[in-house]
Amino acid sequence: MNIQSMTGFGQAEAGGIRVEVRSVNHRYLEPRFRIPVFINPYEITLRNMIRERFSRGRFDVTIALTDKADVRLCINRTLAGNLFHALKGLQQDLGIEEGPTLDHLFWFRESLFREEPEYNPEDLFRVFETALDRLALMRRREGEHLAEDILSTVEALERILDAVRSEVEGTLEKTCARLRERISELLSEAAIDEARLLQEAAFLSEKADVSEELTRVQSHISQLRKIISEGGTIGRKLDFLLQELLREINTIGSKSSEYRVSDLVIQMKTEVEKMKEQVQNLQ
């Protein structure tokens, strides 16, 4: 069963580079990066590595240097000189006696200083791949748990469906008995036209017949089990199937006037809603 949740976390570290990848549920595949400037040229490659492994989810990627990184501090000397002369000119224009010092350039540290680590891009890709492996493992474990929960809920739904079948058996006889009781309250027993009574009961029973809906619900349940057993990217398939399942259950509720069936329909809808929540997190 190769089923993935869209929730997971993977981390890896080597060669002075640490990679963290978090994923949560999302309708589409959406990678987002927080990376140092020197890794920007490789962002497209990293995005493609995610797309090759996953189909859905929002991915938050964080890449940072560790204290083991071999880093060289670089200073933009040209910009530093321009800033220093600009500050000195401003000091003279304003008639300030004390001139700027090198300490004042620290205000512009984000523009003046940058870290240039010594690293091999292939090392970056290997660390990133390891983080994705660990993320995928967590997603698979979570996906298997979700699939087991969904199948457990399907079993509960099927038990309720069997109860509905039992309740709707003998609909004609039940409808006829109710009509006889209501008519008897208004008329004497001798005035009841049995043929007409049976005809009306048959008409009402036909309107309340839910056999086709019950068959389609059972068919949807079988399809649901089949999709889960096949695995892969199944979130959207299951979401569509559950919408159809809910539509059939609502039809059963609207057709039946039996109090017990109405109660069972509510129970079935509750189970389907549980599954819908679980399916939202499947890839």
Q: Sorting pLDDT into bands at 50, 70 and 90, what band is 201?
A: very low
**pLDDT averaged over the chain?**
83
Does the pLDDT at position 82 exceed 60? yes
pLDDT at 184 over 60: no
Binned at pLDDT 50, 70 and 90, residue 228 comes out as: very high
pLDDT the model gives residue 170: 53
More confidently predicted of 221 and 198: 221
Domain boundaries, the chain: 71-116
pLDDT value at position 149?
Answer: 95
Give me the mean pLDDT over the 161-189 stretch: 62
User: What is the C-alpha to C-alpha distance for residues 188 and 77, in angstroms, rounded to an integer?
Assistant: 110
Average pLDDT over residues 93-108: 76
Tens-place pLDDT, residues 137-153: 999 999 999 999 999 99
How far apart CA 43 and CA 27 sit, in angstroms, is 22
Give the pLDDT mean for 244-259. 86
CA–chain centroid gap for 203, Å, is: 46
Examine the pLDDT at 1 and tell me if it is beyond 50. yes
Arithmetic mean of pLDDT, 53-66: 92
Determine the pLDDT at residue 183. Answer: 52
pTM of the model: 0.72
SS (H, E, C) the chain: CCCCECCEEEEEEECCEEEEEEEECCCCEEEEEECCHHHHHHHHHHHHHHHHHCCCEEEEEEEEECCCCCEEEEECHHHHHHHHHHHHHHHHHCCCCCCCCHHHHHHHHHHHEEEEECCCHHHHHHHHHHHHHHHHHHHHHHHHHHHHHHHHHHHHHHHHHHHHHHHHCCHHHHHHHHHHHHHHHHCCHHHCCHHHHHHHHHHHHHHCCCHHHHHHHHHHHHHHHHHHHHCCCCHHHHHHHHHHHHHHHHHHHHHCCCHHHHHHHHHHHHHHHHHHHHHCCEC
Q: What confidence score (pLDDT) does residue 5 get?
A: 95
Mean pLDDT of 83-88: 82
